[in-house]
Amino acid sequence: MADTLLFSPMTIRGITLKNRIVVPPMHQYSAVKGFPTDWHLMNAGKFAAGGAGLVIVESTKVERRGCGTVGDLGIWDDKFIAPLNRLVAFIKQQNALAGIQLGHSGRKARATRPWEGDGPLQRSPDIEDWDDWTPVAPSAIAHSARWPVPRALERSEVKDLVLAWGQAARRANEAGFDVLELHGAHGYLVHEFLSERANQRTDEYGGSEENRMRFIIEVTEAVRTYWPDHKPLFVRLSVEDNAGWGPEHSVRLAKILKVKGVDVIDCSSGGITDMAPILGKEIKYNYQVPLSEQIRRHADILTMAVGLIIHGDQAEQILREKQADLIAVGREILNNPNWPMDAALKLGVEGPFRNVPPQFGYWLGTRAKRGFGTNPSTWQSGLQERLP
């Protein structure tokens, strides 16, 4: 039976993942006034029951203005703690860890759901707080010609926002999450501060690289004040955004974030322009893995690789080649929520059904003992294996 890195546990601070498979944050656009619904319970629940070590709940907004769509999850008030705890409790019952990504959409806020047009939302009487939901950003610069010009944040508002991230971290902890991820990627607020294209402020939050990094650093400090020492903190970065920010900047930032208490850099790309991710480069298997490898090697910090990682042996190879420490499987786990079980079978891991709850694992294990369902390839080859 194969010894794999993918199915080996990993301890970060006081928390142990049972394997290296992570469900990355994936918006469901299905919240109601910021509150999770049964959809979210089903969605997170099926991934947890499918055997992933860590399930990260989608980008959840630290303030109302930061909501990307009417269906974004919120965490800007204590009233969100109990409903989020319902998700946490269910994920943990399946022996998975529960994570949450904190986010703010900045100048890309107030948009349609992707399948309803994927662009700025038109004013509607159904949205009672339309004016309170005005997109804000470091500078009054639109994302692109088809997006509205955001309102530039006052300096005092930037300070308030730092506090809002801290309070959101407190609520995430009170809701019982094990892992927190800060969304610093994809052209949303934190990334906008980092970008010299989006951030043309003249105060201490703009201008030099040091100044543009100030917001994410202060956010990290505020979050670490409320996020307990024994719990891991991840940051997702667009390591390369093809608009002035690249791996060398990300390495410098990751080194600073590590000192501030960040444990893992989740290595993504793009989003600051409409042409994302990785403008000009071919999108192919592992397309962001080299970014993870660079951060891991040069910033000496744990990394998570994400982006078109679809097969178990592909994930295993990334870990063996020391290109990442954790593997995030996004769209493929939408296709197959039992991906971890499937990968374990294909990699020949001992007890492939041990990763899943007994409601599934017991029956699949007893069937396997009779020689059925353990050959992952075809019915024909399975038949040949079974018959004398």
Q: Among all residues, which ones are annotated catalytic?
A: 188
Total residues at the site for ligand FMN (CB under 6 A)?
Answer: 20
Among 53, 247, 307, 312, indicate the residue that binds ligand FMN (CB under 6 A).
307
Report whether 144 contacts 120 (CB < 8 A): no
Residues numbered 131 to 170 that lie near ligand FMN (CB under 6 A) are none
Could you tell me which of 180, 162, 322 has the C-alpha nearest to residue 264? 180
Give 345-359 as a DSSP string.
HHTTBSSTTTTS-HH
Instruction: Please give the structure tokens belonging to residue 52.
Output: 């992933």
Tell me if 87 contacts ligand FMN by CB under 6 A: no
Q: What is d(CA 95, CA 121) in angstroms, rounded to the nearest whole number?
A: 39
Q: Does residue 101 belong to the site contacting ligand FMN (CB under 6 A)?
A: yes
Per CB under 6 A, does 331 bind ligand FMN?
Answer: yes
Candidates 58, 178, 325, 342; binder of ligand FMN (CB under 6 A) is 58
Per CB under 6 A, which of residues 12..51 are in contact with ligand FMN? 24-27
Between 155-174 and 209-226, two packed helices, what is the crossing angle to 10 degrees? 30
**Residues 4, 59, 105, 220: which binds ligand FMN (CB under 6 A)?**
59
Binding status of residue 214 toward ligand FMN by CB under 6 A: no
**Within positions 271 to 300, which residues make up the interface with ligand FMN, using CB under 6 A?**
none
Instruction: Tally the residues of the chain.
Output: 388
Report the C-alpha gap between 208 and 87 in whole angstroms: 41
CA–CA separation, 330 vs 281, rounded Å? 20
Q: Does 183 bind ligand FMN (CB under 6 A)?
A: yes
Judged by CB, which is closer to ligand FMN: 320, or 331? 331
Min CB(328)–ligand FMN separation in Å: 6
| Joined tokens for residue 328 | 């995030």
Between strands 151-152 and 97-103, the pairing is unpaired
The contact set with ligand FMN (CB under 6 A) reads: 24-27, 58-59, 101, 183, 185-186, 236, 268, 306-309, 329-332
